[in-house]
Amino acid sequence: MFFSSAVPRRLFRPLLPPVNAILVVFNELPEVPLAPALRLSPPFLRPQRTRLVHSVAVSVEQRASPLRSLRRRGHSISRRYRSAAKEFEMPSGKPFERLPETVRPQHYVLSLVPDLKALVFDGDVAVRIEVVRQTNEIVLNAIDLEIKKASLQGSSAVEIPSSTNFSVEDETVTFNFAKPIPPGQYSLNMTFKGILNDKMKGLYRSKYQNQQGEERYAAVTQFEATDARRCFPCWDEPALKATFDISLSVPRDQVALSNMPVKQSKETGELVRYDFDTTPVMSTYLVACVVGEYDYVEDKSADGVLVRVYTPRGKKDQGLFALEVATKVLPYYKDYFNIAYPLPKIDLIAIADFSAGAMENWGLVTYRENCLLVDSQNTSAVQKQWIALVVGHELAHQWFGNLVTMEWWTHLWLNEGYASFVEYLCVDYLFPQYSIWTQFVTDTYIRALELDSLKNSHPIEVPVGHPSEIDEIFDDISYSKGASVIRMLHNYIGDEDFRKGMNTYLTRHQYKNTFTEDLWAALEEASKKPVGAVMSTWTKQMGFPVIKVASRTEKNNVVLTLTQSKYTADGSQPSEDYSWMIPVSITTSKYKDKTISTVLKTKEAEVVLPDVAPDDWIKVNPGTVGFYRTQYPPEMLEKLIPAIKDRSLPPLDRLGLLDDLFAMVQAGHTNTVEVLKLLQAYEDETDYTVWSSISNVLVKLNMLLSYTDCAELFKGFQKKILSKVSKRLGWNPHPEERHLDTLLRGLVLGRMSWLDDEDTVCEAKKRFEAHVNSSQTLSADVRSACYKTVLRAEGEGVYDTLLKMYRSVDLHEEKDRISRALGACKDAEILSKVLKFAISEVRAQDTVFVIISVATTPVGRELAWRFFVENWTLFNDRYKGNLLTRLVKCMAENFASEKSATEVEDFFKSHDMSGTERTVQQAVETIRLNAAWLKRDTDAIRNYLTTTTN
């Protein structure tokens, strides 16, 4: 699955429609009578379950212990976890138990009949099961379903359950039988009924307008992580794989899709029944169905797989780019893994209402519209690149995740971290002009470092018990840190051995389930290197190291002393003893193309660099591949500055130096003034990726200084830093300019829009007026910057114009661009209107990001928080899951006072925070870090800015 911040980049989960739609929908829905014994209550009626907040690393002995002993029994929610910040324990309920091992599913025959007018569905399922040990009960997962009938058919008799019990808390249904069921083969037959919900999980409804402007609904599935049970009763655990025969009965004018091709179809009255081929052995979370009105474009990959991209009717041309990518990616992965894609077809489909960025259902991949569709006139270069990455990510899952699946959600990172790495491999192969690996560092690697520096981070492998805990680990640790440590591993063992090991892993475990250790074993076998020993230090404990460098000269050699310790965002010493096995590389100005490589296995070690002159620079972690920070002494850093200015240091090293120094500033190891001085060395910088890192620093400092009297001084400082690159790029693309220059123009103009630069404002006004009057279409690459610039300068008149534009366009990308620009306004009254607009007119999946856009401005920060507090019940009901955690994080983390930290903390103490516990802790920790930073450095910053800008 793909969650994101470009959605924003890779992050997801369940939502409801806008508020006004909620009331109408609930009033219009027919009441579904539920048998009392079988009624499974909806989530908003369930008793709340108090859960332990998982925040941390266990001891070294615990980290090294095998996980297989935890295979069946879930982790007790009363277990105590240690945080680097503090030790705590919350009230707990009973330990979570996974489904009993007495019964295993083998094959499902599933039939669904969705009613897109009444917004309900009927279904029946016959599950061929194996009773492994004699039992009086069969326990499986089900929630939000009315189970009308159930029976167990053996070889000679049919048994009706003597009683049926359900657990809302465990999301299970238990069929009890009067006589013991002996081991053997049986068929468990059930008929059931459910509601096409509006929460974007299970089998849900997605609202859209057809070409005639009429409101219509599609029926769509989203089952990851544990929502197949909302569509049909099943053994909804990734290890309990089975095959599936799926049938859909739909109106004649509707398209019906599932994981496999249609085997046969038959008209039955006003409906057509589509029977699909039998699936391979697979987990329930990968089952998929879609019913609705769609067009498609199709092609065959070079290895013979039929590829179709489904789009809203009338928009099939917008699917051509994704089709091109998909047809090329499949043969690339076949060659890379040395394993053919195992299904005869793959469909990619754009869904109007979709909580995630995309979902890798085997053979039927679902996407948000703006993660799949490309409009030649209105899609920006950065969005097109993003779509290529998302397609690459989901198709990587067809092997890594679908063919071989994690045994339990503790190993989620195996799926997501790996796919987040491989997506860059395939896009780099297809589009070398994107220089995509340099962007990996700013988009993925740095994001992971930032989150993992907090005391309330978590290990890559975090124990997961109850399904409600899963949403907490769909974050930048599982995705971005997972991808970053795999990139480091790939570099450590080399591409050839990496590919060989991946083939061994996939071949050995195909159609089965695995633990992290199974991957390490295959890669170790291929590379003959201690992969398991090295990588377990990165996956079993949270955080990452900082390597402190010291140097001395001995004859013609330089001796480096490397000392590792845990990096903490507040600069404090960790309470536990952390140690990593760190693949370290070093290069010098004399031997730029040669690296000295070693593995730092101890707290401290020395490395000898032969024939290094006193004036030569030395760079640790060339290419910014190792997942650690580097702290140089001033004299070593000083030698690198000329190489930054003349750009003889490669781009990834230029940005890595800045980012590492900024991290030292944040932790209080050096003053903010030092990073301000270093920034001036980048005035002639031309590389997009380096500017992404510079922009990241400027944005954070701008937020921080908005609480001081230095804000205007810092604006002037930023304009000076940006002036050369802004003038060089201008607003218009140059003939034959590179892809990265196009991305850089959007980035720089976007930054200038926040600085209210007079020249930028003047040009933006002219271009906006021409765009609105249709005399000259504004390039999609600069629209966001233009909208924000003019809105900040003009206020209400432009706000009204943007609202009209929003309501008139039907391209999801353009709607997103406009709605997220609205938060840039400086007028508090207008921002209040934006917040109301976000919950009344914006699609529920996008509301969060409009509110976040308001929270990014000084004037909007407090407004957005108050709005969030006042509408907490709405947000909690609508977004419980990943999007709620994203909203909580972005609403709170830009405050910078103890008063704000206490207010946020107190609010969540008195309000239900299940599913957002760790996020709240991270946000509060970040607020206090901001406050400490301001207290520590404000005076020095003011003095420096006063001197340099006057």
Query: Are 652 and 689 contacting, i.e. CB atoms less than 8 angstroms apart?
Result: yes
What is the number of alpha carbons within 13 Å of residue 616 lying toward its C-beta?
20
Query: Are 418 and 400 contacting, i.e. CB atoms less than 8 angstroms apart?
Result: yes
Residues 6+ apart with CB under 8 A from 432: none
Q: Which helix (H) or strand (E) holds 872?
A: helix 872-879
CA angle centred on 603, ends 597 and 607, rounded to 5°: 35
What is the number of alpha carbons within 13 Å of residue 534 lying toward its C-beta?
25
**Dihedral of the alpha carbons of 563, 568, 574, 579, in degrees to the nearest 10:** -40
d(CA 929, CA 569): 8
SS3 637: helix
Cβ–Cβ contacts within 10 Å for residue 777, how many? 12
d(CA 262, CA 945): 68
Tokens of 943: 């003095």
d(CA 802, CA 840): 16
d(CA 296, CA 387): 17
Q: Which of 224, 394, 893, 925 is catalytic?
A: 394
Tokens of 827: 């007028």
Give Cα separations from 804 to 815, 818, 829, 834, 851 (angstroms): 11, 10, 19, 13, 19
Cβ–Cβ contacts within 10 Å for residue 86, how many? 12
d(CA 166, CA 263): 36
- Tell me the pairing of strands 364-368 and 358-359: antiparallel
Tell me the backbone φ, ψ of residue 18, rounded to 5 degrees. -55, 160
Is 394 annotated as catalytic? yes
| 412-446 burial code (b ≥16 CB/10 A, e <16) | bbbbbbbbbbbbbbbbbebbeebbbbbbbbbbbbb
d(CA 226, CA 1): 13
In 3D, which of 926, 844, 910, 834 has the Cα closest to residue 872? 910
SS3 816: helix
What one-letter code names the amino acid at 410? T
Residues in the chain: 950
In 3D, which of 664, 631, 674 has the Cα closest to residue 944? 674
Burial class of residue 552, CB neighbours in 10 A (0-12, 13-18, 19+):
exposed
Give Cα separations from 759 to 43, 717, 730, 766, 843 (angstroms): 53, 16, 11, 11, 35
Helix pair angle (917-949, 651-666), 10° resolution: 100
Query: Are 115 and 28 contacting, i.e. CB atoms less than 8 angstroms apart?
Result: no
Residues 6+ apart with CB under 8 A from 360: 1, 286, 393, 394, 395, 397, 398, 401, 402, 419
Tokens of 320: 């051509």
d(CA 549, CA 448): 23
In 3D, which of 541, 586, 428, 553 has the Cα closest to residue 495? 428
Active site residues: 394
